[in-house]
A = this chain, B = another copy of it.
Amino acid sequence: MASDQTRTAILAAAERLYADRGFADVTLRDIVAEANVNLAAVNYHFGSKDELIAELFVTRSIATNRERLHKLRAAEEKGGGRADIDEILRALVGPTLRGCLGPENQRSTAARFMIRASIESVPPIRRIKNREIDHLRKFAAAMRRALPDRDEVEIFWGLHFALAMAHHTIRESERLTKLSDGKCDLDDVEVIIERVVSVAVAGLRGAETQRSNTTTAPRRTAPLLR
């Protein structure tokens, strides 16, 4: 099958070029030159430039989501149907962070591609991300099982904030390094995961002491900390 060779060559070349130079700088002509195939082959195999990008991103996303769910199930089985909240959050943010962070010189092409996808967020990639809700619902459900007394709204905010910290760390790792003058270590992924999980859990804990059984709104707080 010569077709598959061409297809694969295009995928590999595109992922490498996008990872190296970003989406804005890479044209179809750059990709076909790198893959040593004809310009029209991209449209034949993928339909359009956007669908090529979508296929690259979907492939990597599916792998990450599969790993997330696998870890979620393992955690729930270990706890007999109810996992600890920090285990659930670790299953949520761990695979994503491990797939994108770590020492810069050790990052695979796939990792660098996913970082670009996170930072530049072109239309085809946004469209795919918007379909992730069903996937996230499974984590929300697990979190509710872990914290049956917590208000449902707090669960959603906790999930949302955990993802916020994980994705923002991927998107802005360079800025955080500069801001902290290199003092924030972005190479040790496991430590970062624990950091994200512990802040998310602390937020959920605060939700109980401050908000449960009253209203869904956080109180306007006096200085919580000196």
Contact = CB atoms under 8 A, between A and B. Distances in A.
Given A153-B183, A160-B168, A168-B164, A121 B119 contact: yes
A130 B169 contact: no
A205 B179 contact: no
Nearest to A197: B221
A123 B24 contact: yes
Contacts of A169: 160, 164
A152 B86 contact: no
Interface residues of A, number: 68
Given A123-B24, A133-B179, A225-B85, A218 B204 contact: no
A194 interface: yes
A96 B132 CA distance: 26
B157 A184 contact: yes
Nearest to A153: B183
Identical copies in the complex? 2
A167 B169 CA distance: 12
Interface string A196-226: 1111111111100010000011111101111
Nearest to A158: B199
A208 to B, nearest CB: 8
14 contacts: A24-B122, A86-B221, A86-B223, A121-B121, A130-B175, A133-B178, A133-B179, A153-B180, A153-B183, A165-B165, A194-B217, A201-B225, A202-B205, A203-B203
A165 B161 CA distance: 6
A126 interface: yes
Nearest to A205: B225
Contacts of A226: 84-85, 146-147
A185 B218 CA distance: 12
A179 B156 contact: yes
A20 interface: no
A77 interface: no
A140 interface: yes
A201 B224 contact: yes
Nearest to A194: B218
Interface string A162-174: 0111011100100
A226 B175 CA distance: 35
